[in-house]
Amino acid sequence: MVLENIISIFILRYLQKRLPDAEAYLKWHKILKVGMLLAVTFIILGYSPIGSRVLIHGLSLALVGLIIYGVFKVPEFNQAKTIAYAVLPYLGLSLVSEVIDIISPSFYESIETLLDTAGFFAFLWAVALWYLSRKQKKALELERQKSEEREKEYRLTEKIKAQLEKEVAQRTQDLVKKKEALEKALNELKATQDQLILSEKMASLGELTAGIAHEIQNPLNFVNNFSEVSNELIQELREELKKDHTQRDKENEADLMEDIAQNLEKITYHGKRAEAIVKSMLQHSRKDNGKREPTDINKLADEYLRLSYHGLRAKDKSFNADFKLELDENLPILEVVPQDLGRVLLNLINNAFYAASEKKKLLEDEGEGKDFKPTVVVTTSLEQKGVKITVRDNGNGIPEEVKTKVFQPFFTTKPAGAGTGLGLSMSYDIITKGHGGDLSVISKPGEYSEFIIHLRQD
């Protein structure tokens, strides 16, 4: 009888704990409290002599029955179903025993042991069910926790993923920006390079101009002089022809005729000489047509050696140097870009003259140099598979540590403004990239420098 009420209190307490505190549930809280009060009252009454034991037992059963009914009927109390299932067999047994006891106490006594055993199993059932449900609940709880953790992890991963994606997007944008900036810089660099190549070309053209002017002036003088003197000779011949037959000097006439004929040849020769110089100047200043054409290397070397010499001579009156051409007459005609190779020769020869005359100046500053003759020697020679051109000066040479740098762009030993520092690097490009040849230098510091061009014949 006590147990029924304890079950009641237990279920009520269970429901009370799980019922929300909200206003809407106030009524239910009140009902639960009344139920508990009743159960406690029944327990006390059960121990007191007051009232019939059967009545109180009946009321107690009615109360617990009502509570279980509520558990199944009211949705808010459904969660106590497991407890209800656990205690139902015991309550049913208790009700049956009481009914049998009332109807036939003798029959009750005869099956009391059986009832006790059944009561024990009902109790076991309750405990087992309670234990199982607890275990299940715990497992569920664990599962829930796990899934919560998984959810948490997933959310974290998502967050990191989003962050990463953002960072990647940012980085990509940065890279694109950098790439664009680099492309721009590259384009600017290319434009600057083109500009520099052009200005180097113009500078060398400027150096050429004076030489060219001198080179053209000389043949033009001859053209003028020879035509003028030819006029004089013709005049003289006319006078001779006017003379009486017997007085004419046949020998003189023949001489005059011969001279006039020779003069006309000279006029043609020097006219062509001037024409060739103008042509080569135009070729030098022409924008890269880059076309290879059959070229007489000896003629080119001669031409540019003279242009260089006269150019420097015209620019600096104190400049004086000796130059020699040692040409191999057996040279084959090579397919080269004449204006490019000409630029290389001009650059190398100008440098050679510069180096040799710098040495002269240095020696003169030291009070010596009387016996030193700045000299530049240009040679051509036939090789097994092509042509070798050398430009040698007797200047102060190139120090070992500088030798590896001379073909680098912007490297110059000349004072600021005297050179772009591009001449040799451009020469190197023209020979190697432009002609598949080779440009190298040998030098003995204090004694000489020699630049060597190898051109292949193919």
Partner 1 sequence: MKILIVDDEKDVEMLFRQKFRREIRNGSLELVFAFSGADALNILEETDPPKVVYVFSDINMPGMTGLELLEKIKTKFPQINVSMISAYGDSDNYNKALTSGAKGFFTKPIDFESLKKEIQSLMG
Residues contributing to the site for partner 1 (CB under 8 A):
214, 217-218, 220-222, 224-226, 229, 232-233, 236, 259, 262-263, 266, 270, 309-310, 313-314, 317, 320-323
* Residues 302 and 276: beta-carbon distance below 8 Å: no
Nearer to partner 1, 217 or 404 (CB): 217
Closer CB to partner 1, 322 or 326, in the complex: 322
Nearer to partner 1, 270 or 392 (CB): 270
Q: How far is the CB of 264 from partner 1 (least distance, A)?
A: 12
| All residues at 6 or more sequence positions from 68 whose CB lies less than 8 Å from its CB, including other chains | 11, 84, 87, 88, 91
- CA–CA dist 357, 139 (Å, integer): 102
Residue 378 CB, nearest approach to partner 1 (Å): 12
Q: Which is nearer to partner 1, 170 or 224 (CB)?
A: 224
In angstroms, give the least distance from the CB of 193 to partner 1.
Answer: 37
- In the complex, least distance from residue 242 CB atom to partner 1, rounded to whole angstroms: 17
CB nearer to partner 1: give 310 or 359.
Answer: 310
In the bound complex, what is the minimum distance in angstroms from residue 434's beta carbon to partner 1?
Answer: 31
Q: Considering the complex, what minimum distance in angstroms separates the CB of residue 314 from partner 1?
A: 7
Cβ 271 to partner 1, closest distance in Å?
A: 13
What is the nearest approach in angstroms of partner 1 to the Cβ of residue 181? 53
If the CB atoms of residues 338 and 374 are measured against partner 1, the closer one turns out to be 374
Shortest Cβ 276–partner 1 spacing (Å): 16
In the complex with partner 1, the residue whose CB is nearer, 112 or 236, is 236
Nearer to partner 1, 151 or 232 (CB): 232
CB closer to partner 1 out of 148 and 232: 232
Which residue, 172 or 217, is less far from partner 1 as judged by CB? 217
Q: Which residues of 234-257 are buried (b: 16+ CB within 10 A; e: fewer)?
A: eebbeeeeeeeeeeeeeeeeeebe
**How far lies 282's CA from each of 127, 196, 370, 448, in Å?**
117, 20, 40, 33
Nearest CA to 94 among 115, 110, 70? 115
Residue 310 CB, shortest distance to partner 1, in Å, is 7
Residue number with CB closer to partner 1 (179 or 315): 315
CB nearer to partner 1: pick between 229 and 442 = 229
* Min CB(419)–partner 1 separation in Å: 24
Instruction: Give the other-Cβ count within 10 Å of 104's Cβ.
Output: 12
Query: What is the C-alpha separation between 340 and 304, in angstroms, rounded?
Result: 12
CB of 362 to partner 1, least distance (A): 20
